[in-house]
Amino acid sequence: MVVRIRYIILFTLFIFLSFENMSGQEYVKVKKIVNDTIYVDTLDPIEVYPKRGMFRFYKRWRYSRKIRNLKKVYPYAKRAGVLLKEINAEYVKLKTEREKKRYIKKAEKRLFAQFEGELRNMTISQGRMLIKLIFRETGNTTYEILKEFKGGFSAFFWHSVARLFGSSLKYKYDKNGDDADLERLVLLYEQGKL
pLDDT 10s digits, 96-140: 888 888 888 888 888 888 887 888 888 888 888 888 888 888 888
Tell me the C-alpha distance between 111 and 105, whole Å: 10
Residue 26 reports pLDDT greater than 50: no
Give pLDDT, residue 50.
64
For residues 165-170, give the mean pLDDT: 82
The distance from CA 127 to its chain's CA centroid, rounded to whole angstroms, is 16
Q: Is 114 within 8 Å of 79 (Cβ atoms)? A: no
Beta strands in 34-72 (DSSP E): 36-39
For residues 130-159, give the mean pLDDT: 85
pTM: 0.67
Using a pLDDT cut of 90, give the percent of the chain over it: 2
Q: Give me the chain's average pLDDT, please.
A: 78
Write the burial class of residue 73 (CB in 10 Å: 0-12 exposed, 13-18 middle, 19+ buried): buried
